[in-house]
Structure 1
Amino acid sequence: MHKTICIVTQSHLCRNPRALKEATALAAAGYDVHILTGSVSADLYAQDLSAIADFPNIRLQLVSDLSKTNLKSFADRFFNKLGRWAIRRFKIENSLALGYGALRYYDAARAIKADLYICHQELPTCIGSRLLNAGFKVAFDLEDWYSEDLLPEARAERPIGLLQRAESEALRKGSFCITTSNALAEKLAQQYSSPKPRVIYNVFPRPEISFQKTKLFSKPLKLFWFSQTIGPGRGLEQFIKILHSLKTPIELHLLGNVTESYRQSLIALLPSQHHLFFHDLVPENQLATKITEFDIGLALELNTPASRNYTITNKFFQYIQSELPVITSETEGQKEGYDLFNPGFKLSQQPDSAEIEALEKWLNSPEELQLAQNRAIEAGAFYNWENESKKLISLVGIALEK
């Protein structure tokens, strides 16, 4: 009889590749996988179904569906708004503020009677602590440091204490707990006086695309950055400020959803010797090919909030797997990913004139760029899902035997 693994998450699989990779790896290993999640878009849900179409032993169940206009979706929006208001106005912490369908997740999870639950993201981590206390076997994937995430204005509506208690339970009582970097694992263990969570890097399968052994770098160089949303607090403004000191023209390419006001603010910031281009989102399975169109990947991050400082952005891994040199912001997490192979240029949070001069020299050296690409190829052979998924399969096997 096959064992059932229930992955509890709260966002679309096509927008949460870590949960998708875990689901398909477990399904390929012979487990029956049941995914609980929510939907905000019929189009994205169709992409979710397409992503798991080759795995008949994966079942996707929506706990909340905001793409539909009905009483349930209205109630989900209302209770989420009520939960956030209660925190902001009265400091009453609650799980309603963490997502949609919060009142239904626990019962939906219990009903599956899985042999093991793996909880991702904020609301499922809180649900997982309830499942633990009810006697279920629960593991946790702390993709971020949830209680130390987001900018200050967003934290005003966030149940910080509730998240801290859930993180503590996950680290102390979970069948296993994993996270995305050694830097974050060590910090979490220190913060909660808990065992150190295991590390599974947020890497991707090696892309099935043909690369050039010797890359032909463009003139001007095409620098690339991507995210679901192009917005403040991600290091873009700081990098554009650096570009004011670079005489060498470059093209800055940004991929993601962006508001018109923020688009115009970036255009106004960019000095005239450079050019700025915006690109629409592409399906997840087309991203690796898209990245190869450019010369250098930008793994930009600020060192605040703390979660950003200790995690390694998935951009870094996707660039090296597409064989791009990387300009990496120096954070505790990024240093961990970068320093083993040095596949590009590491930029401090507040670079001085000497560092900016070194960056310009690097950008103008075809030999240095080619060397960085070679190191990116080496890094991509080490940091990939084929290697990291073995850790997950081992952890699940051990947990099920207990």
Structure 2
Amino acid sequence: MRRAVCIVSPGNLASNPRVLKEADALHGAGYDVTAIVCDYNEALRQADDEIEAVAPWKAIRVPRARGEGVRARAVEQLARMLSSLGSSVPVSVAALSARTPVGALMRRAPEVPADLYIAHYVAALPAVAAAARRHGALIGFDAEDFHSGEGTDAPGDEFRMRMIQTVEQAILPSCSHMTAAAPLIGKAYATRYGVACPATLLNVFPLAMAPSHQRSARAAEGTRTFRAYWFSQTIGLDRGLQAFIKAMSLATTRVTLDIRGSNRWGHGDALMALAASLGLGDRVQLLPMAAPSEMVRLAADYDVGLSLETDVSENRRLCLTNKVFTYLLAGVPVVMSDTPAQKLLAPDLGPAARLCALDDPAGLAVTLDALASASRLAEASQAAWRLGRERYNWDREQNVLLQSVAAAFARQDRVR
């Protein structure tokens, strides 16, 4: 009899490629897979429809419940009151105080029988715990970030992090399967909650997304322009791009920068204004969002990709985002800021990566000038191309997931 696995995530289908990769891998390994996701973002609805139409596993899309926001605000007030009085906040109250679809997922997930429930993001943890209790099943968690370390100095963040810790502390020790998107994220969870260190499951992509051939490095073709690229869902001012633009103004090489992502908060406009003030207005441009399935192909046309994480939060210091691995699969070398996580990764990337300090634009300019030389760029590009095909791809990385899930079931079988 096939084992059933239910993946639960508070995002839309199209908003989290990691859920899709996990579902595909588990289905391919013979599991009966259901993904319970939300249907909140109208802008992603068409993309969700397209994904669901071809997915070999079942998708259940949970709509927004009427009055959900009002209830969340009321529960948040209760949680704040209890906290201010020095009382412990019950796990259910801590979970529901978040303005995320916790309640909707908690109602839907227990209706789907499974042998293992895997939560993505903290908002899904109460749902998988409730479902596992009803069906006598195992609990799993995929930590794409160190969620209780995502707080900054923003108003309300300290309270929000305490509520997340309350939920994580109550549920994570019961998990039979845990993965984390970076080694230091896994270590942070193990240290904070006394759980076994999660297996590292990097945010890499299938070889099928890679370009069919590697393009020649532009510097080797004789052009004087060195093209840099950065992408994310949303353009922000805490992603190290200001330092890079300042470095562009100091480099002897003519460096250009394309920034892809939503400019909904106007941060892209602020970056363009900075570029214009430095005489670089014609060398920086904003590009619209694109489908996750297109990210590798779109990156392949550049000379270097940027992963400029800052120390705005503990999580940003520990995470390894999908940017690094997108560039490698595209055959593009990467410039990474010297966060602890990226410093730990850099030796494994060899000539395909360059570390930089965001507080030293002049040093970054020297790095760019050096990398732009024809011979070094050719070496770096070739190294990136090789790493993407031999090591940092989902075809290989999915084995970490499958082994962890199989081990969880094997442990269960031994104690029965």
Instruction: Specify if TM > 0.5.
Output: yes
How do 1:237-386 residues align onto structure 2 when only pairs under 5 Å count?
A: 237-259=242-264, 261-270=266-275, 271-273=278-280, 275-342=283-350, 343-351=352-360, 353=362, 355-356=363-364, 358-380=366-388, 381-386=390-395
TM alignment of 1:167-178, pairs within 5 A? 167-178=168-179
In 1, the alpha carbon distance for the partners of 2:194 and 2:265 equals 45
Contact 2:224 2:253 survives alignment (8 Å)? no
Pick closer, same or farther for the CA change 1:291–1:357 going to 2, 3 Å.
Answer: closer
Which residue in 2 is equivalent to 1:75?
Answer: 67
Deviation by residue 1:233-268 (Cα, 9 ceiling, x = unmatched): 222223223334324321110101003732331112
Segment of structure 1 superposing worse, 163-172 or 330-339: 163-172
Look up the equivalent residue of 1:75 and give its one-letter code: G
Which stretch shows the higher mean deviation, 292-301 or 149-158?
149-158
**Distance between the aligned counterparts of 1:193 and 1:157, measured in 2?**
22
User: Cα offset for 1:34?
Assistant: 1.2
Amino acid at match of 1:172: P
Give the Cα separation in 2 of the matches to 1:41 and 1:226: 20
| CA shift in 2, pair 1:273/1:203, >3 Å | same
Cα drift, residue 116 of structure 1: 0.6
**Per-residue deviation, 1:280:** 0.7
The alpha carbon displacement at 1:139 in A equals 0.7
- Deviation at 1:130? 4.4
Deviations 1:191-233 (A, max 9, x none): 2232111111111111242223633345321111000100122
1:142-291 equivalence runs, <5 A: 142-153=143-154, 155-156=156-157, 159-206=160-207, 207-212=209-214, 214-217=216-219, 219-259=224-264, 261-270=266-275, 271-273=278-280, 275-291=283-299
Identity of aligned residues (%): 26
Instruction: Give me the CA root mean square deviation.
Output: 2.5
Point out the structure with the larger helix share: 2
Choose the corresponding residue for 2:402, options 393, 396, 402.
393
Contact 2:217/2:374 (<8 A) preserved: no
* 2:8 aligned residue: 8
Contact 1:151 1:305 in 2 (8 A): yes
- Check 1:44–1:260 CA distance in 2 against 1; reply closer, same or farther (3 A cut): closer
Distance 1:59 1:198 in 2: 26
Secondary structure of 2:349's match? coil
Contact 1:254 1:278 in 2 (8 A): yes
Give the TM-score normalised by structure 1: 0.89
What is aligned with 2:86?
none
Out of 374-383 and 127-136, give the one that drifted further: 127-136
- 1:99/1:23 Cα in 2 relative to 1: closer, same or farther (>3 Å)? farther
Residue 250 of structure 1 aligns to a residue whose secondary structure is strand
Alignment partners' CA distance in 2, 1:179 and 1:250: 35
Instruction: Return closer, same or farther for 1:154/1:16 CA change in 2, 3 Å cut-off.
Output: farther
* Runs (5+) with no aligned partner, structure 1: 66-71
Distance in 2 separating the partners of 1:285 and 1:352: 33
Give the residue type in structure 2 aligned to 1:62: R
Question: Do 2:228 and 2:303's aligned partners in 1 also have CA atoms closer than 8 Å?
Answer: yes
Q: TM-score of the superposition, structure 2-length normalised? A: 0.86
- The alpha-carbon distance between structure 1 residues 240 and 116, as it changes in their structure 2 partners (threshold 3 A), is same
CA 1:155–1:345 in structure 2 vs 1: closer, same or farther (change >3 Å)?
farther
Q: Which runs of 5+ in 2 are unaligned?
A: 84-88
The alignment covers a number of residue pairs equal to 393
Closer, same or farther: CA 100–162 of 1 in aligned 2, 3 Å? closer
Q: Is the 8 A contact 2:201 2:397 kept in 1?
A: yes
Would you say the 8 A contact 2:185–2:318 is kept in 1?
Answer: yes
